[in-house]
Amino acid sequence: MKKLLQALAVFLLLPHVGAAKEPLPFLGKNAVILFQGDSITDGGRWRTGSDFNHIMGQDYAYILAAEIGYRSPGRNLLFINRGIGGDRVPGLAARWQKDALEIRPSLLSILVGVNDALSTNAETVEEFESTYDHLLAQTIAALPGIKIVLGEPFVLPVGKHKQTYARDLAMVGKMREAVDRLGAKYHLPVIHYQQAFDAACKRAPADHWSWDGVHPTYAGHALMATEWLRTVDSFWGKSQ
């Protein structure tokens, strides 16, 4: 009897298959999750068709759709990717009605800013923040109750960015600060990707996480997906 009780106690302490909490519990059935941004979000996605192996791209958004869909099969969540390579905030603004508001997402995830920081003739930090601010205000007004996630831009010392890293990091840092201010203004979760990658670079070289300093490797995208889910679940879990 004593051995039976000991065995039962051990069994009760073990994690049970299928007992893990579902991600994004604040979303109901048939919720739509929309990812917006530049090439990091685009991930080489197909623009047409309904092949789910391709329309989400090969990136953190695909990993999130796979993980959340696997762990929440009963809610019929729909994941949509509208990232476009090379885009900056003005580009988002130009297509926002069609590629965001008309989709009417329950949750909108935005990652933009590295092109705004590093592209030739890009807008100033003030213009970036003002346009981004307008997009958020417009979205909240058009879609009451929507949940919005902001991703900070990042850069790593790989490829051409290795020689100019201090300068590039400072320029991208100004955009990160703008995103942080917008997150605070609208009480939105902000994914601190730079901080996550900096910590990851202590475990493996920067080129393990990004192949050119801007675009993540598959390991980098997995890191992004992990950080996204941890931050989002924690933010709205505490605010419920």
What band does 10 get if pLDDT is binned at 50, 70 and 90? very low
What band does 47 get if pLDDT is binned at 50, 70 and 90? confident
How distant, in Å, are the alpha carbons of 46, 54, 218 from that of 196?
A: 29, 27, 15
Instruction: Judge whether 54 lies within some domain.
Output: yes
Instruction: Judge whether 23 lies within some domain.
Output: no
C-alpha span between 214 and 24 (Å, rounded): 28
Q: Are 33 and 109 in contact (CB under 8 A)?
A: yes
For the domain that residue 47 is a member of, what is the CATH number?
3.40.50.1110
Of 27 and 46, more confident? 27
* Mean of pLDDT values over 16-25: 66
Neighbours of 138 (CB within 10 A): 15
Instruction: Judge whether 15 lies within some domain.
Output: no
pLDDT, tens digit, for every residue of 136-191?
Answer: 999 999 999 999 999 999 999 999 999 999 999 999 999 999 999 999 999 999 99
DSSP secondary structure, 99-110, as one string: HTGGG--SEEEE
Instruction: Judge whether 233 lies within some domain.
Output: yes
Looking at the structure of the chain, the number of domains it has is: 1
Q: Which two tokens stand for residue 183?
A: 């997150």
Instruction: Judge whether 50 lies within some domain.
Output: yes
Instruction: Judge whether 22 lies within some domain.
Output: no
Instruction: Judge whether 218 lies within some domain.
Output: yes
Instruction: Judge whether 21 lies within some domain.
Output: no
**Can you give the residue range of the structural domain that contains 44?**
28-239
